Structure 1
Amino acid sequence: MKKLLFLLVFTVTPIVLFADIKIGALFSVSGPASFLGLPEKNTLEMEVEKINKSGGINGEKIKLYIYDTKGNDAETRKKFLRLVNKDKVIAVIGPTRSGSTLAIKDLAKKFHIPVISCASSDKIINPLYKEVFKVAPSDGHAVEKIYEYLINKGLKNIAILTAQNGFGYSGREALIRLAKKMGLNIVADEKFKDTDKDMKSQLSKIAEKNPDAIICWGVGPAPAIIAKNFKELGLKSLLIMSHGVASKKFIELAGDAANGIIFPAGRLIVADQLDDTDKFKKLLLSYKSEYENTFHSPVSTFGGHAYDAIHILVKVLRNNGKDANSIIKGIESIKNHLGTYGEFNFSENDHNGLSKDAFIMVKIEKGNWKLIK
């Protein structure tokens, strides 16, 4: 009997001491935003495998539950509820898209589940819910960077062309608000849908106003179509895209029409062009090399969002605990954390932790990225 009790204790104890840490993830792995979500999924799996091989978190391994939202808001809500009710995760990384994040914001609050979104809309953290964070820089930061660039070039009359989705709505609001603040004139304001196959009508209306620059705000195939339409119409304005095109997929879709386009982006896509004194260069080159060697495809700034999210979460889990309140307080206390998109300094009132300095300006030349210094 004593021997049997000993064996029972011996076999049960390790399970109790080393239970899995369940973390959920919601990414647009398929659908129009797959070029954003797939690098996020790949990165998260790659980083978690490394973390587990090195001993996990205080001896406990991470168990991932990753679901494809297909970029659909209703599907995102459904999968979030599954993560909470069936999988019993302690935190969620993602979603990929702004609209999808906004679709679960109320659920994160209701179930008191920390969410670290990979999307950029300012509305994700404004109004602020204590459970909801994001690691992608805010649209306002990107707009500030674009407007500073235009002002330095002496360009003040702009046209905006924005997507009719969560990302586009948030970007349009920031473009209008900051134009007034920074002294730029919006001479045309047009919109498009993700499913539109031709935007010559909107571009022709914009051309009548003769703007110095046209700023397109969207993700997926639509901005690539706009780039082609812009070239076909022979427009002479400067074409600027949002950070939503910071993927080789955009260049592949736009072809030669991508050349000459300017946009704000994270440092990752031009990591090898950074000065050796840049404090982010070593981290970025390491991640870039590992990702490209593992998946045999170009690194993406969107995958970098998943990298930042998991390393922020792991830091908190190691130092603060696994219950929701500890995770929330832990993230809010993170300072001077270097990630792929910048230096994170969170607080109770700032659930993004980044500034406009997270962005640099990039130009597409000969089908590749070039850092604008």
Structure 2
Amino acid sequence: MSLLPVLRRGAHAAMGAAFGAALGGTFGALRTAALGAALMLPPAMPAAWAQEPIRIGTFLSVTGPASFLGDPELKTLELQIEALNARGGVLGRKLQLVSYDDAGDAEKARTFAKRLIEQDKVDLIVGGSTTGTTMAVVPLAESSGVPFVSLAGAVVIVEPAKKWVFKTPHTDRMACEKVFVDMKARGFTKAALISGSGGFDKSMRAECLKVAPAHGVQVVADETYGAADTDMTAQLTKIKGSGAQAVLNAGFGQGPAIVTRNHRQVGVGLPLYQSHGVASKEYIKLSGEAAEGVRLPAAALLVADLLAAGDPQKPVVTAYRNDFESRYKSEVSTFGGHAYDGLTIALNAVKAAGSTDKAKVRDAIEATRGYVGTGGVVNMSASDHMGLDLSAFRMLEVKGGTWSLVK
């Protein structure tokens, strides 16, 4: 367990003002006047904390196969909380982060979430790096009545809507739809699917098969690979002879990089799409030159400098990227952005509720409207506990070893 101190002085004090403006959807460069939902914090830390801290629980895959998700998520939460405490906390109360590393293990995630709720007495939970770890905790959040904002992708997390569970990332279904729209625009009507065996992979595969007909796309090949597989040439060779015009890989982690390299080695010769589950520079590094030309749907965060000057997300994603990279000396990823949005939405709700009363905070999260975050503009409702539409996705393409924005 990691229990974040009240404040680490030094670099964080300088960042306090930036994160003070973050509640409501923005970092330092974007002031609260730009967003009606933005919340102002006191200008300085009180000499002493008069009330109990607001306890924020998290379980993340900081180590293990999904560490590329959990590591930037934890770093983001720590960065936000330390800076907000430097500005006086929320409602005059210190923010305290209680974190556990589940290493991508669903059973560990459930055990840690139970500890967060029953022993650590957290007021809310922001976490769950993967669909598997998230779904292991959903029943606990529902039965305990603790607001839970997940950072995982599958649509099953919020459909059907669950009273106490919310999420910030775009869904796998949205990724399928965004890809199929792009395929049709390029004149492709026959697609091949290749997917992994993980929870996200399986869910995205199922969603793609469901929505393809509505977008005028026929799935002519449907191949899978295991989590431990290191060579997918057999599956890609079948796809090469399937009559497909484009290939979509539903997966995350190491698998998609292997698929990308094998796709080039086999000489499939078809446009390759990936999911938002690999939306980080690490995927490009692992794939090497084979990533050139690959397209995927992702958040605006990865192409902050390429956004139009009037894009409402530009100041938000630019400031978050700059603050994260300045602190950690590593490139930002969309996964840290999910954590940023999750914590900000949750703390906006605490502020709106005027307390940490769990039922009131839950209601306030559900009432989130017009929040401009790293993932898009969020408008939640009783039936929509994510609040993003297809416009929140940008279609990206790898060009020259980096991300470019498809116009």
Task: Provide TM-score, normalisation by structure 2.
Answer: 0.87
- Separation (CA, whole Å) in 1 of partners of 2:75 and 2:375: 17
Higher-Rg member (1/2): 1
Please name the residue that 1:331 is paired with.
365
Q: What is the letter of the counterpart of residue 245 of structure 2?
A: D
1:341 and 2:371 are equivalent in the alignment: no
Please name the residue that 1:125 is paired with.
158
- State the 1:15 CA deviation: 8.2
Structure 1 residue runs without a partner (length 5+): 1-13
- Separation (CA, whole Å) in 1 of partners of 2:161 and 2:306: 36
Decide whether the 8 Å contact of 2:366 with 2:385 is kept in 1.
Answer: yes
Please name the residue that 1:155 is paired with.
188
Matches within 5 A, 1:220-299: 220-299=253-332
Decide whether the 8 Å contact of 1:194 with 1:220 is kept in 2.
Answer: no
Q: What is the letter of the counterpart of residue 352 of structure 1?
A: M
- Separation (CA, whole Å) in 1 of partners of 2:212 and 2:291: 25
- State the 1:26 CA deviation: 1.3
Structure 2 residue runs without a partner (length 5+): 1-46
- Separation (CA, whole Å) in 1 of partners of 2:247 and 2:299: 21
Q: Per-residue CA shift, 1:189-220, capped at 9, x if unaligned?
A: 11112221111111111112031111001111
1:73 and 2:106 are equivalent in the alignment: yes
- Separation (CA, whole Å) in 1 of partners of 2:163 and 2:175: 24
Please name the residue that 1:63 is paired with.
96
Counterpart of 1:164 (choices 194, 197, 204) is 197
% identity of equivalent residues: 38
- Separation (CA, whole Å) in 2 of partners of 1:42 and 1:193: 30
What secondary structure is seen at the aligned counterpart in 2 of 1:113?
coil
What secondary structure is seen at the aligned counterpart in 2 of 1:232?
helix
Matches within 5 A, 1:22-61: 22-61=55-94
What secondary structure is seen at the aligned counterpart in 2 of 1:309?
helix
Structure 1 residues 16 and 361: alpha-carbon distance in aligned structure 2, compared to 1, 3 A threshold = closer
- State the 1:127 CA deviation: 2.2
Name the structure with the higher helix share: 1
What secondary structure is seen at the aligned counterpart in 2 of 1:244?
helix
- Separation (CA, whole Å) in 2 of partners of 1:142 and 1:119: 13
- Separation (CA, whole Å) in 2 of partners of 1:65 and 1:257: 40
- Separation (CA, whole Å) in 1 of partners of 2:292 and 2:102: 32
- Separation (CA, whole Å) in 2 of partners of 1:193 and 1:62: 41
How many residue pairs get aligned? The number is 360
- Separation (CA, whole Å) in 1 of partners of 2:339 and 2:401: 26
Decide whether the 8 Å contact of 1:93 with 1:306 is kept in 2.
Answer: yes
- Separation (CA, whole Å) in 2 of partners of 1:185 and 1:215: 12
Decide whether the 8 Å contact of 2:126 with 2:342 is kept in 1.
Answer: yes
Please name the residue that 2:54 is paired with.
21
Decide whether the 8 Å contact of 1:143 with 1:175 is kept in 2.
Answer: yes
Counterpart of 2:212 (choices 166, 179, 182) is 179
Decide whether the 8 Å contact of 1:210 with 1:237 is kept in 2.
Answer: no
1:353 and 2:387 are equivalent in the alignment: yes
Counterpart of 1:363 (choices 391, 397, 400) is 397
Please name the residue that 1:4 is paired with.
none
Q: Per-residue CA shift, 1:127-180, capped at 9, x if unaligned?
A: 221010000011111111111111111100000111212101210121011112
- State the 1:231 CA deviation: 0.7
Counterpart of 2:343 (choices 297, 305, 310) is 310
